[in-house]
Amino acid sequence: MIEAQRGQKIQLTIYDYNTSEYHMPDVDNPICTVYAVLKELNSKRSTTVCGGKQHIQEYTVEDGDSLEVRVLGPMSREEDQNPQFLLKYEGMIKAFTSF
């Protein structure tokens, strides 16, 4: 569980090593290889993280919400067929401006 305090937001970045940074998503293939499920606790919004689509995917959780991250286990017993990805998260302070 990752929690953002009031005035903060969470930036979650997924680096998918099963694709290259030059890989174009296959729009004709709607199959989702599920890496993780993200659930925002206050807003009750869930997002499925699909692999093999983009090298870098970013998700933002807004002010004061909590994020539950459920990473799914290996899909195959063959080690070379399991997805390889990195989850990076950062807490960020929202910039307040006044005029």
- H or E segment at 84? none
pLDDT of residue 29: 62
pLDDT of residue 64: 72
pLDDT at 25 over 60: no
DSSP string, 13-78: EEEETTS-TTPPP-TT----EEEEEEEETTT--EEEEEESS-SEEEEEE-TT-EEEEEE---S-SS
pLDDT of residue 61: 84
pLDDT digits (tens, 9 = 90+) for 34-84: 889 999 988 888 999 888 778 889 988 877 778 899 998 666 566 556 778
pLDDT of residue 43: 82
